[in-house]
Amino acid sequence: MNTMTHMGQTARIEFDDKDNIFVGRLLGITDSISYHADTVVALRQAFVEAVDDYIETCAKIGKPVEKPANGKILLRVPPELHSAALIAAEAAGTSLNQWATKALHQAAYVID
């Protein structure tokens, strides 16, 4: 994965071939925070500065720092999938929430 984390914030990193720079953007928040650099070391520094500046700015203007997630997910899935997931959870001896948490964890942390 091409991500960086700092102070509870995660950013996705991409390479801009046209400008020959790395570009990062914070994920999971509505505020638009991005940064760039031409080396990985400089990118890490720019990321830390961007996150720290975001946190400081939020404090100055009295706005809460957005968290990428609060732990609650509402999903709309086809009834057949819902039924299959319920059956799979029961067969595994767990609740649907525990089963889905495990499935999401496995899917989110797959290493390419």
Measure the N-to-C terminal CA separation of the chain; round to a whole number of Å: 7
What's the angle, vertex CA 15, arms to CA 44 and CA 109, rounded to 5? 70
CA-closest candidate to residue 32, choices 24, 22, 40: 24
Question: How confident is the model over 3-50, as pLDDT tens digits?
Answer: 999 998 999 999 999 999 999 999 989 999 999 999 999 999 999 999
Domain boundaries, the chain: 3-61, 79-108
pTM > 0.85: no
List for the chain the helix, strand, coil content (%; round to 5): 45, 20, 35
Helices (H) and strands (E) in the chain, counts: 3, 4
| Residue 95's pLDDT band (cuts 50, 70, 90) | very high
